[in-house]
A and B are shown apart, each in its own frame.
Chain A
Amino acid sequence: MLAAKKVVILGDGAAGTIMANKLRMLTHSSETRIVVIGNSKKHYFKPDGVHIPFKLKRYQNSVKPTRFLFNYGVEYIFDEATGIDVSQRTVRLKSGNSTSYDYLIIATGDRFDYNEIPGYIGEARHFYDLQHSLELANILDSFNGGKIVIGPSSIPYQCPPAPYEFTFLLDKYLRDRGIRDKTEIHYTFPLNRVFTMENVANFVNRLFDERGIITHTLFNVESINGLNKTVTSIEGEDVKYDLLIMVPPHKGQKMITDSELAGPSGYIDVDRHKLSYKDYDDVFAIGDATNLPISKAGATAHFESEYLANRIAHEISGNVYDETYNGEVACTTITGAGKAMTLYFSYDRPPRAEFQSKMDYLLKWTSADTYFSGMLRGIM
């Protein structure tokens, strides 16, 4: 009997976990070994980060122990990849071990590079991880009016709608506390509109106008001066603030750059339809780790995993799989208190932003449960 093919997945976040569990359901362990290497003890459902600062959700329900999230038959190794050698088909690990593979799937996500913006550390706040969301909850508690400036500092960043979702919830929170009339909300965005996709930008802009939210477009953050409370853009605009909430600059993992799989940005160029790296048919990247021109979102990781798990399962069992990944994403985004809208799009089909509903908000509200019990498990 032939030895089982070894599929090594680097990264234990949304993409790595969905990929491993989906592939496990499509393959038999006698034919396919699935090994996940990851370095996070807890798996945090990041979309709840827009609710936690307003104490709309208890964070305890948004976190689960990582190692319990893999289906039976997936081998999980708590370790960290320190180098990848695609010519030798090996991955070096922090523990000193190394592992070989027949297929490698890189799902190491991205990281925050605070040092990219002088003055960021200690001055700007954000809600892009659990610790900072909890800190922001305390800061908002003691906020009694003034000028709040919010925005992504640069592009790319995870979940493009998250900053405007947060802003809508902030507007509602300030109204509920009776301090909206004592507060100015300013929204900054790197492009010459308030969102990447034009029709969504127009939609959000209208909602911002209705709520009196002031916008600053073509605003890529250059530096922050905590002494005179000013954020300055590369374009030369200064905006004063009392409270600054800035999505930090994102980069791919340093290990990816060090392994020469990507340039300084750390994001891996993959074939946009096959998700494969360069000419290698045994190396792939999914999730936030790629340089693909689509949202860095769990929803993207979900669609990519569906494609890739099917492709690898077919190949291992000797069958042909002639589908491609076409950039499909479906994403439910908050557009106000109790309102949300679901956007469907792909590489060549922009989303249609027209319909918000309570039902979509309910979908969003319960998404941690759906995520942990269904999506991550690979059954959706």
Chain B
Amino acid sequence: MAEEIKADKVVDARGSFCPGPLMELIKAYKEAKAGDVISVYSTDNGTKTDAPAWIKKSGNELIKIIDRNGYVEIVMKKVR
């Protein structure tokens, strides 16, 4: 059974177009503390590539990309 990860912060950016979801994620990241898990929901196709690219470049950890019903959930951990 897939282990459910509890997010410290959920960013619901559904309905927002690129680059909205990524910018929302960056905002949440700035407000979070190291170790926090952040989850972003997006209906924009671009987020699936943009958000993981940002998480990698910023030296954080991509935990999961989950295809949900009509949207994608991207879960990351703030490392730095």
Interface residues in chain A, defined as those with a beta carbon under 8 Å from any beta carbon in chain B: 154-156, 190-192, 196, 198, 218, 220, 234-237, 293, 347
Contacts and interface: CB of A to CB of B under 8 A. Distances in A.
Contacts of A293: 16-18, 20
B37 to A, nearest CB: 18
Interface in B19-75: 19-20, 22-23, 26, 29-30, 46, 49-50, 53-54, 57-59
Bin chain B's interface residue count.
10 to 19
A156 B17 CA distance: 12
Contacts of B30: 234
A235 B19 contact: no
Interface of B is mostly: helix
Contact of A236 (B16, B46, B49, B80): B80
B58 A236 contact: yes
Please name the 7 residue pairs, one residue from A and one from B, whose CB atoms are nearest each other, closest first: A293-B17, A235-B58, A192-B53, A218-B57, A235-B57, A155-B23, A236-B59
Contacts of A347: 17
Contacts, number: 42
Interface of B: 16-20, 22-23, 26, 29-30, 46, 49-50, 53-54, 57-59, 80
A190 B59 contact: no
B58 A191 contact: no
Contacts of A191: 19, 22, 50
A40 B53 CA distance: 42
Contacts of B19: 155, 190-191, 196
